[in-house]
A and B are shown apart, each in its own frame.
Chain A
Amino acid sequence: MADKLPSARFRRQLKEQLPLLQSEGLISPQQTQALSDRYRLTALGSEATNTLLMTIYTIGSVLIGIGVISFVAAHWNDIGRDTKIIMLVSAMLAAHIAGFCLWRLHGGYPKLGHTLVLLGTLIFGANIGLIAQIFHISGNPENAFMAWSLGAVVIAYALRSVPNAVLAVVLAIIAVFAGASHSPHYTHAWFPLAAIILFVPFIYYTKSRWTLCSALLLLTLALPYTFARKGGGEFSTVSGASLAGVLFFAWGTLSRQKERWSFISPPAWTFGVIAASFALYLCSFFDFCRNLLPHWQMSPFTSFSTFSVVAVILLIAAAALWLFSLTKTGTIIVFLLQAATALTLILAAALPWFVQPYTIAFSANLLLILLIILLFCAAFACEDRRVFWAAVLLAALLILGRTIEYETELLIKAVIFTACGVGIIVAGVLFERFLKSRRAV
């Protein structure tokens, strides 16, 4: 018996259809019974009652909650400091403990219980703000969100709770950007490394795709952003993004070798390609490259700071992951694609070390073209429509960028745009034909 049943709607429809199918002689009474058992159709009625009850409980508890909050809000100014704190902490503990009992101890209401535990973590976050307010603390909002995120992570690990983990990642993303409004020169150097240490084991522990994708998004944003906040402007942004690209791509390739971890590959590759092509695309503009060099001295790679340590650790980690991923190979085409794409990504990471703006812009354009070709090859090799359209999008962006960047005549622009349009349509048709022929085989 499969653990996961299809949606209740499908099962209801199936329940309606089964007698019809049986009367038409398409299936035997034994098969009807087997299907009914397989999809637990007899339990549908009681499940509906349970859902209804749960909805009523949820609405009821939300209303009670609003009532209590309104009552407290009306008298908030008259309540003493200690009472306020006791009330805030009690609300958090009540949500946590009630949720835990319903979910794990009683076991009868796992969803309601899980929701209450999540509510407990939300109240925990509100409490950080309210307690800071009671004591007139004015600090960096970055720290408050990081503390909240840490609290959510701890609950996520203790109860294997994916919603708490995703909440923690979202809070960490907010923390990265919340610091910006506070002060332009203040950020935590260890942030990307801490995020990896906190969230990656959880991904392995629960095999949660949601946590994986949100954590990849966090790092894709955090690496370029935190590096740039240290100083070095554009140069640091490019280094951070390309570092993320190399790291994710190597991780994805390594994960592909074990069936258990293969779910990591597609998102890791996707974010790797996004991060690397972002870095390459920025560098493909000549003016951008000219601005890279004045900031060179302040970047994490050229001036020693905690940021340099983090950058070097991540670079070594990426190289190590990549080396390990080379030990086993699939088919030769896949191997070549992996090796060549990884080369592109590693070159992207090395890009800022080229000295002349012309060299950087030229190499970036060349590497982008290489990346586009490789994506097209991968699309055909894997028969994946999404990879194909990603390649088309990147190609279109590249051509658009060059056309905007250089003062070209209107006639040439017209020719380029027409050629692009025709190219996209032809490529799309050819690819669809290819897919159709493959699927027919």
Chain B
Amino acid sequence: MTKTKTTFLFLAAVIVQLAILALVPAKQIYARATGRLITLKVVPVDPYNILSGHYMTLGYKIAQMPSDPRQLDGRQIPVYVVLKEDPNKLWVVDSVNKQKPSSIPPDKLLIRGRTSYRGIEYGIEAFFVPEDKREKIAADFRANQNNARAEIKVDRFGNPALIKLLLGDNTYEY
């Protein structure tokens, strides 16, 4: 094989690796750039075990399964959740659908998730925090369990990106 051909193949392979790396945060970058900013209520998953390794596991009010879970069994199936804003400026579930709704009114919002045995997962459950701030944030979280919120951006396809965590009056963004 000639050197030119090998160089070409090598560069192509490196470009593929770069493309894979670019695909990892692609949806998040798009959602951050174009998405609509909403605030969600964060509920404690396990307040005494918030930190698992490098991140905090966030539970969301909107992750709770609808009252009739028969239509959505524990398997990982995609669901389309329609959200609406409540008087407290927090977004809550309006409906959970297996099929994508044909149209969404402007005062509502579509977000995509996946069912699991823990409820609905949106891919925004991990909040990575710097090592030296971990204990402080965990303590803050325990103190503000009833006033924990997260700001997320949702793009027009329903993909969410986690932006910041609001605990009482403190804001955490990394």
Contact = CB atoms under 8 A, between A and B. Distances in A.
A133 B131 CA distance: 13
A145 B75 CA distance: 22
A131 interface: yes
A134 B18 contact: no
Nearest to A136: B162
A17 interface: no
A138 B13 contact: no
A124 B124 CA distance: 23
24 contacts: A76-B130, A96-B14, A97-B14, A100-B7, A104-B3, A121-B17, A124-B21, A132-B25, A133-B55, A135-B28, A136-B124, A137-B25, A137-B28, A137-B126, A147-B20, A147-B24, A154-B16, A155-B17, A158-B6, A183-B116, A183-B117, A184-B74, A185-B76, A186-B75
Contact of A136 (B21, B74, B127, B130): B127
Nearest to A159: B10
Interface residues of B, number: 38
Interface in A89-136: 89, 92-93, 96-97, 100, 104-105, 121, 124, 127-128, 131-136
A13 interface: no
Interface string B73-86: 01110000000000
A398 to B, nearest CB: 38
A157 interface: yes
Contact of A151 (B3, B16, B74): B16
Nearest to B130: A77
Contacts of B25: 131-132, 134-135, 137
Contact of B21 (A89, A97, A105, A157): A89
B156 interface: no
A25 interface: no
Interface string A168-196: 00000000000000011110000000000
A93 B12 CA distance: 13
Given A132-B25, A135-B25, A159-B9, A151 B126 contact: no
Nearest to A144: B24
A150 interface: yes
A92 B14 CA distance: 9
Interface in B99-136: 116-117, 121, 123-128, 130, 132-133
A93 B14 contact: yes
B74 to A, nearest CB: 7
B98 interface: no
Given A104-B3, A136-B124, A185-B76, A127 B21 contact: yes
Nearest to A73: B131
Contacts of A330: none
A45 interface: no
Contacts of B10: 96, 100, 104, 155, 158-159
A33 to B, nearest CB: 36
B54 interface: yes
A254 B167 CA distance: 65
Interface in B124-174: 124-128, 130, 132-133, 161-162, 174
A139 interface: yes
Which 10 A-B pairs give the minimum distances between C-beta atoms?
A138-B126, A158-B13, A186-B76, A158-B9, A136-B162, A135-B28, A185-B75, A135-B25, A77-B130, A151-B17
A131 B16 contact: no
Contacts of B127: 136
Nearest to A121: B17
Contacts of B132: 77
A87 B94 CA distance: 43
> In the complex, which of the residues B21, B28, B74, B128 has the most CB atoms of chain A within 10 Å of its own CB atom?
B21
A297 to B, nearest CB: 16
